[in-house]
Amino acid sequence: MTEYFKYQQAQLYVESVPLESIAQRYGTPCYVYSRAALTDGYRQFADALKGREHLICYAVKANSNLAILNVFARLGAGFDIVSGGELQRVLAAGGQANKVVFSGVGKTEEEMRMALEAGILCFNVESAPELDRLNSVAASMGKVAPISLRVNPDVDAKTHPYISTGLKQNKFGVAYTEALSIYRKAAAMPHIRITGMDCHIGSQLTETSPFIAAAEKVLALVDQLEAAGIVLEHLDLGGGLGIRYDDETPPAIADYAQSLLNALEGRPHKLIVEPGRVLVGNAGVLLTRIEYIKHGEEKNFAIVDAAMNDLMRPALYDAYHAILPLRERDEAAQHYDIVGPICETGDFIGRGRELAVTQGDTLGVMSAGAYGMSMSSNYNTRPRAAEIMVDGVAIHVIRERELVSQLFAAEKIIA
């Protein structure tokens, strides 16, 4: 729990609003975000980096709601995008194209055209064939594309294998040993302008050392490039800083930022970072109501109205989210598996949790602001949850609950 989500008189609050009142008024399942928490996270980065030229590019895929993007845009953020769709979201939310970096291994020609048209800051190129394609797309538009190569530093991020991206066997970036020759090729392309180098080694990292190991490998390559006459303007050290879900002890934003600054000491480059999870994860909670309590032979189940389609992380990564009752009860606690209504055994939100609850109670699934709504689906023809942003005492609906009719509006029965 953070200072933005806490109990007062046995009720769980977000900022100055009891979460139960939101559940009653807007229904469940429902994501609730704290604007103050979002702002606080961003400011911690900005303060820590203020002595150096920098750009904080929020990783849009962590949570791409327009209201959230808008909060960061107003604070001065740039954005790290991985699709043309995310670029359109950033622009619709009031973000500036010239603060956007575009990552991803599979950029299409159409996405490249859209980004060149908008005038983004940098394409984070992930392969030699992508570089060729970008050069020819830019040529066809009479433009020059600013690029950085995403190098794969081959360091172990020591996180879940599905969210580790900086090892040799991963699909991301160009191999460390090939980077120099690809940069040379890029330098000779008429519609490419080399502006930087980037890396991103994984997500939910709870130690600083892999970030520093990656930065050191990047800097060694920067030296080789400079010796070859290729000078860079910026270094983009990616995102990946972890948060506390359970008992993890990730470094504070300020300490992480300071260790990046130390690693870059004496270097003239502008520093770009791409934080996602750490800016939104603990700023959000998923509210869900208990539909039934079921006492099985071996286990008790609390069957709730949120499911793996709303929050996929437990099913996908066996991820842990704290689960708290919105109203504390005096009764004795029992152990429950908190499960959704979907026909999959993997459809659980939490297992073996000690809770004093009864049918009809509402629970808060904590730390759900990152990779929650943005990974949600309509599996089982379940409309996606509503999203709410709280700002002090004010409650704003930032995404209406989906309607079932919207889910099959684009489908057609054939004769």
Furthest-apart CA atoms within the chain: distance in Å: 72
* Minimum CB distance to ligand PLP, residue 311 (Å): 16
Which CB sits closer to ligand PLP, 136 or 170?
A: 170
Among 95, 276, 325, 340, binds ligand PLP (CB under 6 A): 276
Which CB sits closer to ligand PLP, 217 or 277?
A: 277
* Minimum CB distance to ligand PLP, residue 371 (Å): 7
Three-state SS for 325?
strand
Which CB sits closer to ligand PLP, 101 or 338?
A: 101
- Measure the CA–CA gap between 266 and 111, rounded to whole angstroms: 36
Among 274, 305, 347, 387, binds ligand PLP (CB under 6 A): 274
Query: Which of 92-100, 260-268, 274-282, 335-343 is the region at the interface with ligand PLP (rule: CB under 6 A)?
Result: 274-282
- Contact between 61 and ligand PLP by CB under 6 A: the answer reads yes
Radius of gyration of the chain (CA): 23
* Minimum CB distance to ligand PLP, residue 165 (Å): 7
Write out the H or E segment, with its range, that includes residue 389. strand 386-391
Among 29, 84, 239, 325, binds ligand PLP (CB under 6 A): 239
**Residues 120-159 contacting ligand PLP, CB under 6 A:** none
Among 15, 20, 80, 86, binds ligand PLP (CB under 6 A): 80
**Residues 241-260 contacting ligand PLP, CB under 6 A:** 241
Which CB sits closer to ligand PLP, 7 or 317?
A: 317
Residues counted in the chain: 415
* Minimum CB distance to ligand PLP, residue 404 (Å): 31
- Contact between 200 and ligand PLP by CB under 6 A: the answer reads yes
- Contact between 59 and ligand PLP by CB under 6 A: the answer reads yes
Task: Select from 351, 369, 269, 274 the least CA-distant residue to 315.
Answer: 351
* Minimum CB distance to ligand PLP, residue 101 (Å): 8
- Contact between 41 and ligand PLP by CB under 6 A: the answer reads no
- Contact between 166 and ligand PLP by CB under 6 A: the answer reads no
Task: Select from 103, 109, 76 the least CA-distant residue to 87.
Answer: 103
Label the pairing between strands 78-81 and 11-14: unpaired
- Token output for 336: 């429950």
Query: Which of 45-53, 214-222, 272-280, 350-358 is the region at the interface with ligand PLP (rule: CB under 6 A)?
Result: 272-280
Which CB sits closer to ligand PLP, 107 or 200?
A: 200
Among 60, 62, 151, 326, binds ligand PLP (CB under 6 A): 62
* Minimum CB distance to ligand PLP, residue 232 (Å): 18
Write out the H or E segment, with its range, that includes residue 388. strand 386-391
Strand partners, 175: 152
Which CB sits closer to ligand PLP, 35 or 277?
A: 277
Please provide the DSSP assignment of 254-312 as one string: HHHHHHHHHHTTT--PEEEE---HHHHGGGEEEEEEEEEEEE-SS-EEEEES--TTT--
Task: Select from 299, 280, 301, 284 the least CA-distant residue to 357.
Answer: 301
Which CB sits closer to ligand PLP, 59 or 155?
A: 59
- Give me the active site residues, please: 343
Among 203, 288, 362, 374, binds ligand PLP (CB under 6 A): 203
Which CB sits closer to ligand PLP, 173 or 350?
A: 173
Per rule CB under 6 A, count of chain residues that contact ligand PLP: 17
Write out the H or E segment, with its range, that includes residue 313. helix 313-317
Strand partners, 354: 335
- Contact between 63 and ligand PLP by CB under 6 A: the answer reads no
Count Cβ neighbours within 10 Å for each residue of 265-292 and write b for 16 or more, e otherwise. eeeebbbbbbbbbbbbbbbbbbbbbbee
Query: Among all residues, whose Cβ is closest to ligand PLP?
Result: 276
* Minimum CB distance to ligand PLP, residue 199 (Å): 9
* Minimum CB distance to ligand PLP, residue 200 (Å): 4
Write out the H or E segment, with its range, that includes residue 41. helix 35-48
Please provide the DSSP assignment of 169-221 as one string: TSSSSEEGGGHHHHHHHHHT-TTEEEEEEE---BSSB--SHHHHHHHHHHHHH
- Count CA atoms within 13 Å of residue 218 on its CB side: 31
Chain positions contacting ligand PLP, by CB under 6 A: 59, 61-62, 80, 82, 103, 200, 203, 238-241, 274-278
